[in-house]
Amino acid sequence: MRRVSVFGATGSIGESTFDLLMRQGGPERYRTIALTGGRNIARLAEMARALQAEIAVTAHDELLPDLRAALAGSGVTVAAGAAALLEVADRPADWVMSGIVGAAGLAPGFRALRHGGTLALANKESLVTAGPLLLAEAARHKARILPVDSEHSAIFQALAGEDITAVERIILTASGGALRDWPLERLQHATVAEALAHPNWSMGPRITIDSASMFNKALEVIETREYFGVAPEQVEVIIHPESIIHSMVGFRDGAIMAHLGVADMRHAIGYALNWPSREALPVARLDFAGLTRLSFRAPDDIRYPALRLAREVMALRGGAGAVFNAAKEIALDHFIAGGIGFADMAAVVEDTLAAQSRESGLGNAPGSLEDVLAIDHLARRIATGIAETLARRRAG
């Protein structure tokens, strides 16, 4: 039986993964090693029972008694806390979903590579913060990383059987997020609820707001560069409000391979789960006759400073990706908490990059996971200071 683990099982990606595992045979087909989650103990316990998991872990120490109670008599072992999240990554599995949100997902996924199985990577932050290290670790253990981000799954599929040296350009499509048609002057006043109203995809709250600010696409540009090893200038972004084309690859003979489908993450997750074969998936089929149009427009750098910052990060490389991501996470926290405005998030990230570059330089490539976490830590401290100053100025 195939051994599987799902990190971040109670999230949006985790729910879709659970849905597919259950539909594709559940505990009769998969031996579930570990499921991890956060505060939604009832759901984590329900999933662990349904899949007869060996162990269920909550990220929060204080919730251990609740988890223990919820799983009493089930035969599922329970654990809690950051150390436990790493320990379960040490339990061998053939397929692991890296579905935790944020830099918190880096260490568990990194650790799981040691078993030489497949890491289905939804956690794009892993590649943004530690791309070269992650790929080297996978190579060392003959593990395989399969992309789960819909764009990267699309590109991966468009590249099947192709030679990467024949690739001229990779074109990432972006929905534009909830605020794409807002006048520029109004953006700074966007509320969290408004930024959360994604037109096409149902996702976790953080990535949904990142879609509206285009920070999600900025992370994905870097993710593309790291995962596929192409040059930064080969990666393009185009706004495609219908989200029917999930991304495209352009080859040197002028051909473009596009991946199309309805917006449902179960396609990309299922592809990574069943790879290298394709199994029937419960996603809606595209009805071409019912499509009114596919439209495209170039993203505007003034509206989306995140894309410009991603270019700067790729030029710097070294520790810049880790700083960029950490500062973005802190800026997002402050936006969600109401301290700073929507457009302030980019300012926090830009100022953090500049400050950390002055303080410690960003050009040196982190040599270990510990180095990445140290850079991440420092960036969070700097970004917090910048965000708090901005918040005070706004309040005062």
Q: Could you tell which of Mg ion, ligand NAD, none binds residue 3, using a CB distance below 5 to 8 A set by kind?
A: none
Q: 308 among the known binding-site residues?
A: no
Q: 370 among the known binding-site residues?
A: no
Q: Could you tell which of ligand NAD, Mg ion, none binds residue 14, using a CB distance below 5 to 8 A set by kind?
A: ligand NAD
Query: Quick check: 80 binds ligand NAD (CB under 6 A)?
Result: no
DSSP symbols for 53-113: -SEEEES-GGGHHHHHHHTTTS--EEEESHHHHHHHHTS--SEEEE---SGGGHHHHHHHG
d(CA 32, CA 3): 6
Query: Quick check: 131 binds ligand NAD (CB under 6 A)?
Result: no
Query: Quick check: 134 binds ligand NAD (CB under 6 A)?
Result: no
CA distances for 350 relative to 215, 286, 328, 367, angstroms: 12, 40, 9, 24
d(CA 134, CA 368): 10
Q: Could you tell which of ligand NAD, Mg ion, none binds residue 270, using a CB distance below 5 to 8 A set by kind?
A: none
Stretch that binds Mg ion, among 21-29, 145-153, 156-164, 336-344 (CB under 5 A): 145-153
Q: Return the residue matching tokens 């080969």.
A: 234
Taking residues 85 to 124 in sequence order and writing x for each that binds ligand NAD by CB under 6 A, - otherwise, the string is x-------------xxxx-xx----------------xxx
Query: Quick check: 321 binds ligand NAD (CB under 6 A)?
Result: no
Residue numbers 266-305 binding ligand NAD by CB under 6 A? none
Beta bridge mates, 249: 170, 257
Taking the complex as a whole, the smallest distance from the CB of residue 358 to ligand NAD amounts, in Å, to: 29
Q: Could you tell which of Mg ion, ligand NAD, none binds residue 137, using a CB distance below 5 to 8 A set by kind?
A: none
Cβ atoms of 120 and 210 closer than 8 Å:
no
d(CA 256, CA 288): 19
Cβ atoms of 118 and 94 closer than 8 Å:
yes
Query: Quick check: 10 binds ligand NAD (CB under 6 A)?
Result: yes
Cis (ω within 30 of 0) for the bond into 199? no
Query: Quick check: 375 binds ligand NAD (CB under 6 A)?
Result: no
Query: Quick check: 149 binds Mg ion (CB under 5 A)?
Result: yes
* CB hemisphere CA count around 39 (13 angstroms): 0
d(CA 169, CA 275): 25
4: three-class secondary structure by DSSP:
strand
Query: Quick check: 59 binds ligand NAD (CB under 6 A)?
Result: yes
Taking the complex as a whole, the smallest distance from the CB of residue 149 to Mg ion amounts, in Å, to: 4
Query: Quick check: 223 binds Mg ion (CB under 5 A)?
Result: no
For ligand NAD (CB under 6 A), the number of binding residues is: 28
d(CA 200, CA 215): 17
Query: Quick check: 239 binds ligand NAD (CB under 6 A)?
Result: no
Query: Quick check: 207 binds ligand NAD (CB under 6 A)?
Result: yes
Stretch that binds Mg ion, among 80-88, 126-134, 147-155, 191-199 (CB under 5 A): 147-155
Query: Quick check: 203 binds ligand NAD (CB under 6 A)?
Result: yes
C-alpha angle with apex 124: 120 to 32, nearest 5 degrees?
A: 30
Q: 98 among the known binding-site residues?
A: no
Q: What is the 3-state secondary structure (H, E, C) of 168-190?
A: EEEEEEECCCCCCCCCHHHHCCC
Query: Quick check: 66 binds Mg ion (CB under 5 A)?
Result: no
As annotated, the binding site for Mn(2+) includes 149, 151, 220
Binding site for Mg ion (CB under 5 A): 149-151
Binding site for ligand NAD (CB under 6 A): 8-14, 37-38, 59, 85, 99-102, 104-105, 122-125, 149, 201, 203-204, 206-207, 265
